[in-house]
């Protein structure tokens, strides 16, 4: 089992919407790769929700047709993978049936490789990688093409209208906050303030701010006092 990461979201705004966590990686190594709504949960004002994951990889595919923002990606297969011993797989379509095959150790340790063979029709399926059993990055499948993902994820949270598994246009998402885990910190809290600004802190710091306020005789709810 890998290390568990936790991101807590506190909705101190006046809006009811969906908290969406997604990943980006400008150096992932695959052209035209698209990020998915990795996690998505609805949250009313004053609501707290939590997202947990481990950095365990998998290969994923779905017969989505043309891949574009707004399309839903629902993985038809998700094969566990790692960056060393099982980091390469083939993707094929035999008799109209898509499947992964021949998973093995590939020649590029530290990466995840999908070998797309000649049987694949264009613009019918998408392939990619998932993290903690959930699809995270996908790209349009095409015949006779090899994909080598070199994942070093950056995490973001946003709040709006999203569905888990939705293909995102990350360039158009303006109301977002990056979530950076400092060394040896595995629990972060993202607070959406009443003025719709973000405040992202280690959960331990949010706890310390709350306890310090209580020691001064201030009343309040956990997470509210952490806002600027």
- pLDDT (tens digit per residue) in 29-61: 999 999 999 999 999 999 999 999 999 999 999
* pLDDT the model gives residue 104: 97
* pLDDT the model gives residue 227: 41
Angle at 199 between CA 4 and CA 221, to 5 degrees: 85
* pLDDT the model gives residue 218: 62
Do 99 and 209 share a structural domain?
no
* pLDDT the model gives residue 211: 79
* pLDDT the model gives residue 207: 85
Instruction: Report yes or no on 175 lying in a domain.
Output: no
- pLDDT (tens digit per residue) in 133-147: 999 999 999 999 999
Instruction: Report yes or no on 9 lying in a domain.
Output: no
Which residues in the chain land under pLDDT 50? Answer: 226-228
H-only helix segments in the chain: 203-215
Can you give the pTM of this predicted structure? 0.92
Host domain of residue 213? 180-228
Do 124 and 83 share a structural domain?
yes
Q: Domain end: 170, 194, 218, which one?
A: 170
Handedness of CA 76, 83, 28, 100 (dihedral sign): negative
Instruction: Report yes or no on 12 lying in a domain.
Output: no
Do 201 and 146 share a structural domain?
no
Instruction: Report yes or no on 44 lying in a domain.
Output: yes
Count structural domains, the chain.
2
Do 95 and 27 share a structural domain?
yes
Do 37 and 144 share a structural domain?
yes
Q: Give the C-alpha distances (Å, rounded to integers) separating 94 from 86, 115, 135.
A: 23, 15, 24
Do 203 and 139 share a structural domain?
no
* pLDDT the model gives residue 228: 40
């Amino acid at each position: 089992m890998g290390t568990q990461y936790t991101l807590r979201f506190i909705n101190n705004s006046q809006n009811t919407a969906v908290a969406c966590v997604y990943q980006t990686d400008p150096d992932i190594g695959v052209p035209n790769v698209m990020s998915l709504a990795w996690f998505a949960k609805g949250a009313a004002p004053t609501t707290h929700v939590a997202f947990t994951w481990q950095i365990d990889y998998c290969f994923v595919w779905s017969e989505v047709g043309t891949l574009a923002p707004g399309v839903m990606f629902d993985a038809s297969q998700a094969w566990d993978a790692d960056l060393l011993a099982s980091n390469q797989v083939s993707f094929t379509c035999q008799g109209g049936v898509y499947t992964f095959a021949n998973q093995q150790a590939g020649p590029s340790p530290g990466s995840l490789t999908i070998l797309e063979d000649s049987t694949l029709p264009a613009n019918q399926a998408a392939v990619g990688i998932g993290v903690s059993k959930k699809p995270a990055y996908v790209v349009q499948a095409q015949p006779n093409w090899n994909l080598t993902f070199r994942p070093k994820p950056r995490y973001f949270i946003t709040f709006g209208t999203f569905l888990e598994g939705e293909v995102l246009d990350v360039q158009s998402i303006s109301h977002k906050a990056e979530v950076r885990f400092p060394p040896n910190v595995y629990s972060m809290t993202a607070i959406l303030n009443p003025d719709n600004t973000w405040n992202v802190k280690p959960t331990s710091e949010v706890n310390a701010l709350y306890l310090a306020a209580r020691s001064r005789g201030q009343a309040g709810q956990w997470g509210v006092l952490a806002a600027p």
